[in-house]
Chains A and B, each alone.
Chain A
């Protein structure tokens, strides 16, 4: 099972039902659609045009295209896919006009090695007993309870880290983990293979975790758990159990 995310369906009605309502001028249904999708559309638009105000215009244009084009929707794709196709087309045209085209290749994964964790934190391959096991293991995080100043600060740090991710990683992580999109929808919207989507997700999430780790290790902490900081533990204290488990 995947992680627990805010993966509630964005729109409750089935697509067919929703389209039927929109065609019959159901304003409440349209309002619900706007409320459910404007944020993810905006997030995607920013990727193409890079300016918040132009991204907002792109989203607005997308909705206008929906208003005028609802009769033409054939129901061959999901409403969501349809919306993102419209937005992508408008955004690309707009980006071209601004000469700031984001090539699709940007969403391809480069083959450069990007380890999730600094390789220096692991024992060398030549280690006689524990090759590639932790030399500098992760330390427990001490977080403030939800709603406290510490908690808000953590979220602010995370938000900045998300914004700082390389574009493709940022978009994939935002759509998956902030907006709660299923992997398949992200692949469709960005024209990505499942494997590449996962690589971008992995790299992005790993970077975010690393930023949080740094933040928690530097922040003045609440009374911290015992231990702390040493470079000695390589996690094999329970190696006997490991052997016994076989």
Chain B
């Protein structure tokens, strides 16, 4: 069992299963192989760190929304609807 876990993962494979790893959908055994691999492979550790950084930066991208005049118009429409139903 232990040997299975330490069966080395190739770096080329790691970069393809990293999303499953980060999503928490990797089967237990592959997860253990992944963890074992990054423990001893600095470039892959760097790769994982870069992917996490990418996600954090993407999370900081601001999002355009509707204009404030469009928003006001919607609130007015909602008010009208409310008034007409009472």
With A56-B66, A237-B42 already in contact, the answer to whether A205 and B19 are too (CB < 8 A) is yes
The 6 tightest CB contacts between A and B, nearest first, are A137-B43, A25-B82, A132-B10, A202-B19, A235-B43, A132-B12
**Complex contact A235–B44 (CB within 8 A):** yes
Contacting pair B11 A115 (CB below 8 A): no
| B82 contacts A3, C-beta separation under 8 Å | no
- Smallest CB separation, A186 vs chain B (Å): 12
Counting chain B residues whose Cβ lies within 8 A of the other chain, the interface size class is 35 or more
Instruction: Count A-B pairs with CB separation below 8 Å.
Output: 172
Determine if B86 and A119 form an interchain contact, defined as CB atoms under 8 angstroms apart. no
A197-226 interface mask toward B, CB cutoff 8 Å, 1 = contact, 0 = none?
010011001101100110000000000000
**Stretch from A77-85, A95-103, A177-185 at the B interface:** A177-185
Say yes or no: A134 contacts B58, CB within 8 Å: no
Chain A minimum-CB-distance residue to B12:
A132
Q: Mark B39-77, 1 if CB is under 8 A from A, else 0.
A: 111111011001111111111110111110011011101
Pick the contact of A212: B11, B46, B57 (CB < 8 A): B57
Chain A contact surface mostly: helix
Judge whether B81 and A178 touch: CB under 8 Å. Answer: no
Bound-state Cα–Cα, A63 to B75, Å: 10
**Shortest Cβ distance from A28 into chain B, in angstroms?**
10
Q: Are B61 and A159 in contact (CB under 8 A)?
A: yes
For the complex, is A131 an interface residue (Cβ under 8 Å from B)? Answer: yes
Query: Complex formed: what's the CA distance from A6 to B66 in Å?
Result: 20
A38 close to B (CB within 8 Å) = yes
22 contacts between A and B (CB under 8 A): A3-B52, A4-B56, A25-B82, A31-B71, A35-B65, A39-B63, A39-B66, A42-B64, A64-B74, A131-B10, A132-B11, A133-B10, A137-B43, A141-B53, A159-B61, A177-B55, A178-B61, A202-B19, A205-B19, A209-B51, A212-B54, A234-B43
